[in-house]
Amino acid sequence: MTTESNQPYESYQSDVAALRERIDRGDTDAADELIELAAEQSDMGELRRLSETGNSTATDQLIELATEQDDLTELRRLADQGNTTAAEVLAELVDE
């Protein structure tokens, strides 16, 4: 039984799956579309997954989202991996 409240989530998951399939087939535009969609949905897990593949745009979006959410743990994780932008943002947030 599907409730209306699950439909947006299910639709999002369907879109993510379709974009992942396109990425797997080598569609470079699909990665950009997935990053945009994940950022719009505040999906840190998906952005993290894309970031870990070396996608710098996903990393930038992940830093932006973590900053908006005051997620110091995520910023620390990225900074510990050597991301200077995350380190700078983290330092600014800690100084506030």
Q: What is the pLDDT of residues 47-82, one digit of tens each?
A: 999 999 999 999 999 999 999 999 999 999 999 999
Q: For residue 1, name the pLDDT band (cuts at 50, 70, 90).
A: very low
Give me the amino acid identity at 50: L
Helices in 4-83 by DSSP H: which ranges?
7-24, 28-40, 44-51, 56-68, 72-80
- Distance separating alpha carbons of residues 92 and 96, to the nearest angstrom: 6
- Distance separating alpha carbons of residues 10 and 55, to the nearest angstrom: 25
Give the side-chain half-sphere CA count within 13 A for 27: 14
Question: In the chain, what percentage of residues exceed pLDDT 70?
Answer: 95
pLDDT confidence of residue 7 = 76
Closest-CA residue to 17 (of 39, 40, 37): 37
pLDDT confidence of residue 4 = 53
- Distance separating alpha carbons of residues 4 and 87, to the nearest angstrom: 41
Q: Which DSSP state fits 3?
A: -
